[in-house]
A = this chain, B = another copy of it.
Amino acid sequence: MHGANAVETIQREMTVFARRARAAAGRMHPELSLVSYTLLGHLEESGGCRATDLAAHYALDKSTVSRQVAALERSGLVERRPDAADQRAQVLHLTQAGRRVLARVTESRRAAFRERLAHWPAADLNRFADYLVRYNAWPGPARRD
């Protein structure tokens, strides 16, 4: 598990994690898939953005985003506002309900992670977090996601 094989281990464990994550997220929050959750999260962080921005950020097809957003709007979690600067575009915003649901799911996810990482030493948590950031940052946005 060490030495020259660290790369293999990382590869294998990231694969395991990837395989499990989506289903686990679905079981945890039937009301909000992993994708919907990240889209809502991005809207909250950005304070509203266009569908195209979401598609670019997550390297999803614009049709996929369009349908996801439509579903979120049907659920009343997202609203569309006209973009004053561009008549073609719509700016997406969280609704109050959207903020509530996002907060609830975030809290529940956070609790799961906290439980899972409960007995990790703080130094290890910090390093792990750094490694993940570094790993995901490669080689920059809009490529190789």
Query: Interface size on A (CB < 8 Å)?
Result: 54
Q: Which of B15, B122, B131 interacts with A124 by CB under 8 Å?
A: B131
Docked Cα-Cα span, A25 to B12, in Å, equals 13
Residues A132 and B7 in contact, CB atoms below 8 Å apart = no
Q: Which chain B residue has the least Cβ–Cβ distance from A133?
A: B13
Docked Cα-Cα span, A131 to B1, in Å, equals 11
Shortest CB distance A48–B (Å) = 20
Shortest CB distance A37–B (Å) = 8
Binding site for B on A (CB under 8 A): 1-3, 5-11, 13-25, 34-35, 37-38, 58-59, 109-110, 113-114, 116-117, 120, 122, 124-136, 138-139, 144-145
Q: Which of B1, B10, B18 interacts with A117 by CB under 8 Å?
A: B10
